[in-house]
Amino acid sequence: MVNTKVNLCGIELDNPVIPASGTFGYGYEFAEIYDINMLGTFSFKGTTREPRLGNPTPRIAEASSGMLNAVGLQNPGVEKVISEELPKMRKVFHKKVMANVSGFSVEDYVYTCSKLDQCGKVGWLEVNISCPNVHGGGMSFGTSPKAAFEVTEAVKRAVKKPVIIKLSPNVTDIAEIARACEDAGADGISLINTLLAMRIDIKSRRPLLKNVTGGLSGPAVFPVAVRMVYQCKKAVKIPIVGMGGVSSAEDVLEMMLAGATAVEVGAENLVEPTACKNIIEALPGAMEKYGIKDLREIIGAAC
């Protein structure tokens, strides 16, 4: 027998597989397809202080071995997530969930995280710092060590639950950002978020996305994600949640060897709704194939 259990910031998971925010909604649509309680946990749709309609369409475009999205954080706002979505979630998923939070100011992050911190269903706060800082000229919080430190420190002062900071890959030195988050008290980091990209329609000679640029995800970004997880593992001591193009049990093992304690699956859920189920079911066999008896033993083993 192999052991697939891992411990993420003090909470034990049956396995390290976590559907990523933005690709799994609030879980209940997927619960109609399979028993989602087999998941380690899942990160629900990114939540902001106020409701957001998102960006104008078209906001999805295909790419070789991946996809671009510029959805724009469409969500009903934190109040409705708590009053409407979490009660529905409880009916189909019986474990703690990861709350993904976005904001456009430090105050936004603190407000939304404080609200979700009071919810018993929430186990972790995954704070997405790839959002533009409206008080800082629009530059993403995740591209500046100082801004990343500021958000992390402010959120940590306001909440009791583990805070996992989700990092942007659109930086020169990802390890520097990771260290800033650790120094500010982060309990963990997750990476990578999508890579900034664009496509152009040759016929119309215009960008395919109304927003012009979007985030690239899918298998194309997997080697970049592995590299960045590896660099962060060498830079910090806090747990890492790895993601970016993960689509198989072997990808999970590779990401864990690079330094991830748990692994999120994103775009693959949109291609194959049972992707996480398939990965979890294949994981013990993949472990046996490579002589791995306990997943905890391989975390960062390649570093």
Q: Which homologous superfamily does the CATH classification assign to the domain defined by 6-55+73-199+217-298? A: Aldolase class I (3.20.20.70)
pLDDT at 140: 86
Active site residue 113: no
In the chain, what percentage of residues exceed pLDDT 90?
96
Beta bridge partners of 254: none
Distance, in Å, from the CA atom of 286 to the CA atom of 59, rounded to the nearest integer, reads 36
Is a pLDDT exceeding 90 seen at residue 138?
Answer: no
Say what the pLDDT of residue 13 is.
98
Which candidate in 9, 113, 131, 181 is catalytic?
Answer: 131
Domain assignments of the chain as residue spans, ordered by start: 6-55+73-199+217-298
Q: pLDDT band for 130, please (50, 70, 90 cuts).
A: confident
Please list the residues that pair with 63 across neighbouring strands: 66
Count of residues making up the chain: 303
pLDDT in tens, 149-205: 999 999 999 999 999 999 999 999 999 999 999 999 999 999 999 999 999 999 999
Phi, psi of 259 (to 5 degrees): 135, 0
CA distance readout (Å), 274 to 19, 253, 291: 11, 19, 26
More confident residue, 204 or 138: 204
| DSSP label at residue 231 | H
